[in-house]
Structure 1
């Protein structure tokens, strides 16, 4: 039997902050979204205080003050680097490994009989090693399918006696756990499906797994049928071991203040486009369509509102910031309107293909190889000396539009100035 596992970091953003600041251990801690708007991560202590995921900060200010809740802005540079460290540690011990999100990864054992003293103990050893090397606690779920592995992982998190690892290794154990597992916690069951299933008296994963297949396909389509098979121990989702090319890339953080000047919006758009182009080059890809959108705050009851969006198909896919900017600038001019307080400008890159797919054209402009050489030089220099040390002039230097991060923690691992010193 093939064993599929999923490793999930516990309260990942909070754990990253605690990894370098042990004083936060045992205290209520929350991490906020862009512009310090809503709660996106909570420690167990913060959860016990009734702080909910997605709750705006302004609604819990009194609770923060009364219980000395430690508040931090999202530090994606730190979180991303710690994610790579956790995954890099795990890959030393497992062959097939597939990162699913910043804090989750699937893996597999095709043959586990030789593992001594056993699969669960081996996974506890992996868990202990990750904790020792990164100080990030993880939970591991094991089962025959990816869906059941997610169930096992959630069970491991909520039951301390499992010591962070739980294996659904028998049909009897599987049925026992699924009978206690609510459908709203199932991977792939959204709110609409939850309401529909509960109207038909289906409240647990075991009840769902025993429904007739034709009924499931009628009410939950083919994806629902795959879910049923997975709950029954029949794999229907593949564990991809090769990184997939992204279908699209979007960079669109909100401004830290209202913006009324075109030059400021253009500077932000150029910076976001540079970020998106960096992601393209990092994955060896190129984009064939560029979209730029611009809008005001739709929740602001005062003042006029405007939303604009324009797209253009490139004559050939590109990953060059300079070349992409040449196509994006006319789009921004086309959707710009004077007299508005803008909240966000965004860039979306679509029709993404491997960079090798670029080819010379007869009736259109061919890719200029000098752009690729320039981009490679810029990436190497910025990797060595720091992001945006070399940039296109359109990105500017003011950055007065940047998102608010009033509670930013040090980066610890990616900036020399933030590295901890021992005295």
Structure 2
């Protein structure tokens, strides 16, 4: 048996964890630079607030209904995600974290101990709520795709209270018949449109198709989905997640930039993020991709990128920062209102298998990077940083409605006052 456990409107629910005053109020969360609505809590959904609409278009609607607006607090979300996944992991043999708020569970040794899957699902929900104050939905199925369908039913279909189980033919037919084909895991809107032209409108309609015909008409992935909907397991996940082959750090600015110092600071901050991620998966790179760009809607749009070849493979933040200083003049152009920049590490190699060059000095300071990472891991991100990272703060994202980072900053710890 498989299960899928995911949080209900995770970003919006996370905002309520440390702020009980807004738990009974409508809450929405905005994307980067407070651009669009990306998360809507169940209370706010009743107000028919459209998702992924630009904030300026729905600003008056939100104000009219006294909706609480929050900027994306990624530090808080990441920490709460870790806590939620740790709680969920206690209920299964194997866990696969699919996204920041979704986790697949696989039951083998646990199965003989579970008499009622509905009760077990509610036990998971109660435990996660008690220990993290995050509401979750739980779906059980004999395949990962059926577990995903059951999870959809648990949260979206009537007659389910946060838990749904597909463990017999009657339950399978009932839930799949009530699901639109676009709601099936891995189908999506474009493919659903093509399927509906073939009169395949529901998940049950797709389950009744011949897998070989779906493979011929579409692809092998859809054929496997058909098998999974009929209880034949085809999808598996790796026990060990593969290392990334490329690592990027990019972000648009909260406001247009023209100052070269501010732009250079932003690039150096991105390069330190890339270097830290490289060290985390014990990888090195010899090629850095650097780019800067104005908005494509500018009258004279500007975009410039270049690849910097490092003398030796590296994951050293100082080496990367020096590389940016060396080529920055080639990227910057006066009178350009910069909108975005980024750094990418290409053609990654393992730190374990490296051939040293007898004639090229190695500038990597491994001990310094270990010290930097250990201090930041213990005391919080950017407790120690390169001096060139701190030249300006003007490049940061626009987050006017940012809530406190309750779990990652000492100054933001919740305070309790007791009056005796």
Same-fold call, TM > 0.5?
Answer: yes
Please list the CA deviations of residues 189-237 of structure 1 after superposition, one character each: whole Å capped at 9, or x if unmatched: 1222111111111111111122233431233212222222221222221
> How many residues are treated as equivalent by the alignment?
417
Q: Which structure 2 residue ranges, 5 or more long, are not aligned?
A: none
Task: Give the direction of change, closer, same or farther, for the CA distance of 1:177–1:161 in structure 2 (3 Å limit).
Answer: closer
Moved more, 29-38 or 272-281: 272-281
Distance 1:18 1:315 in 2: 49
**1:144 aligned residue:** 142
Any idea what SS the aligned residue of 1:121 has?
Answer: helix
Moved more, 195-204 or 208-217: 208-217
**2:99 aligned residue:** 101
**1:377 aligned residue:** 371
**2:301 aligned residue:** 305
Task: Give the direction of change, closer, same or farther, for the CA distance of 1:150–1:210 in structure 2 (3 Å limit).
Answer: same
Any idea what SS the aligned residue of 1:140 has?
Answer: strand
1:189-268 correspondence to structure 2 within 5 Å? 189-268=187-266
**2:81 aligned residue:** 83
Please list the CA deviations of residues 133-168 of structure 1 after superposition, one character each: whole Å capped at 9, or x if unmatched: 000011111112211111110101124643322121
Any idea what SS the aligned residue of 2:348 has?
Answer: strand
**1:6 aligned residue:** 4
Task: Give the direction of change, closer, same or farther, for the CA distance of 1:293–1:164 in structure 2 (3 Å limit).
Answer: same
Any idea what SS the aligned residue of 2:226 has?
Answer: helix
Task: Give the direction of change, closer, same or farther, for the CA distance of 1:213–1:243 in structure 2 (3 Å limit).
Answer: closer
Following TM superposition, by how much is the alpha carbon of 1:374 offset from its aligned partner in structure 2, in angstroms? 1.2
Any idea what SS the aligned residue of 1:253 has?
Answer: strand
State whether structure 2 residue 334 is matched by structure 1 residue 358.
no
Any idea what SS the aligned residue of 2:285 has?
Answer: strand
* Counterpart selection for 2:290 from 285, 289, 292: 292
Task: Give the direction of change, closer, same or farther, for the CA distance of 1:402–1:113 in structure 2 (3 Å limit).
Answer: closer
* Counterpart selection for 1:394 from 388, 399, 404: 388
**1:336 aligned residue:** 332
**2:405 aligned residue:** 411
Q: TM-score, normalised by structure 2?
A: 0.93
* Counterpart selection for 2:28 from 27, 30, 35: 30
Distance 2:186 2:269 in 1: 35
- Contact 2:214–2:223 at 8 Å: present in 1 too? yes
State whether structure 2 residue 316 is matched by structure 1 residue 320.
yes
Please list the CA deviations of residues 105-136 of structure 1 after superposition, one character each: whole Å capped at 9, or x if unmatched: 11100144421443332232122111000000
Distance 2:361 2:122 in 1: 54
Following TM superposition, by how much is the alpha carbon of 1:330 offset from its aligned partner in structure 2, in angstroms? 4.6
Distance 1:334 1:262 in 2: 12
**1:346 aligned residue:** 342
Please list the CA deviations of residues 337-362 of structure 1 after superposition, one character each: whole Å capped at 9, or x if unmatched: 22211101111223334432333246
Following TM superposition, by how much is the alpha carbon of 1:276 offset from its aligned partner in structure 2, in angstroms? 1.9
Q: TM-score, normalised by structure 1?
A: 0.92
- Contact 1:96–1:108 at 8 Å: present in 2 too? yes
Q: CA RMSD in A?
A: 2.0
